[in-house]
């Protein structure tokens, strides 16, 4: 279930937040490689073509969440960038302005993802 919830496209975006782009890309590449390897191994173990093939109801439920969670991730990415810019620029008003939306985005994603939030 956790592998099904993972979105490597969004993971790449989060890795792009790294101060050193090379480090971010290295971290993303390792995570993506490990993700693909793990997915292949799980599918081999359960002898299925898809994750959650044995539980189509759960797979459908998780898929129905995506239209809500994907935009929330992108909102969080934007807010996190703005918050970091305010902190780096020692902009106290900006830091305060972006903290509440950042915390709300964290809470929203944690609620939407449930056990993996």
**For the chain, what's the residue count?**
117
Above 70 in pLDDT, residue 117? Answer: no
User: Average pLDDT over the chain, rounded to whole?
Assistant: 94
In the chain, the percentage of residues whose pLDDT exceeds 90 is 92
At residue 99, the pLDDT reads 97
Domain that holds residue 35: 2-116
Q: Please report which confidence band the pLDDT of residue 20 belongs to, taking 50, 70 and 90 as the band edges.
A: very high
For residues 109 and 35, what is the distance between their CA atoms, to the nearest angstrom? 20
In the chain, the number of structural domains is 1
Residue appearing with tokens 């939407």:
112
Distance CA 100, CA 28 (A): 28
H-only helix segments in the chain: 2-5, 8-15, 21-46, 56-88, 92-113
Specify the 3-state DSSP secondary structure of 52.
coil
What whole-number distance in Å separates Cα of residue 117 and Cα of residue 112? 7
């Amino acid at each position: 279930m956790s592998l099904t919830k993972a979105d490597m496209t969004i993971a790449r975006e989060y890795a792009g937040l790294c101060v050193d782009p090379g480090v971010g890309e290295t971290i993303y590449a390792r995570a993506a490689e490990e993700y693909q390897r793990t997915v292949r191994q799980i599918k081999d173990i359960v002898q299925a073509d898809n994750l959650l093939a044995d539980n189509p109801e759960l797979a459908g439920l998780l898929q129905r969440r995506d239209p809500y969670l994907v935009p929330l991730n992108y909102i969080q990415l934007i807010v996190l960038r703005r918050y970091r810019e305010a902190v780096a620029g020692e902009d106290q008003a900006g830091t305060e302005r972006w903290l509440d939306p950042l915390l709300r985005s964290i809470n929203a994603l944690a609620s939407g993802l449930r056990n993996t939030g």
